[in-house]
Structure 1
């Protein structure tokens, strides 16, 4: 399959391989996503403990992705990432990745754009 970032021997559109995705990612991909960015502003960020992240997301260790996260979890995104044509992110499982337009991340229901986050 020819993808935006090169050729892959075993690649398919995510909607065609829902069976390979974790349930929360499969639901988000099946439904599409969109919405208004969250209005939360944060000054300090920390990651959830591994046990919490895995239990609350239904995703695999090393494969947690912003797609399909619990609605209460803000996804902080630098506008520079949202401006990229395509970005490679996790799929909820360690063995797969999703190639998505950067602007799609900014449309996640729990997205918060934070200028300078990646600096």
Structure 2
């Protein structure tokens, strides 16, 4: 997760549809969740299955306020899968798990309201 964004921030600058398509947002199922002890801020290490084409990817996610590791496994989430990997302490985060800030700034995961095939792309 990136820094929390509040609902009172102005909208970002307009972009074209082609620019939007450059951001590859896919659905995946969390297959593993562990506490990320070395993280500066409370976080989990996730392994997310994005299906046959993309495969399993790792992500560091600051989602400890609303979620326990055991509750995350089997849950579908959305993530950006085409950012370069990012080293976070001893962990290489390969995708950016997406969420929204609640009224207190804690992250609430972004996910489909019905199950869809892993690897499905947001459009």
Q: TM-score, normalising length from structure 1?
A: 0.24
Higher strand fraction: Structure 1 or Structure 2?
2
Q: TM-score, normalising length from structure 2?
A: 0.24
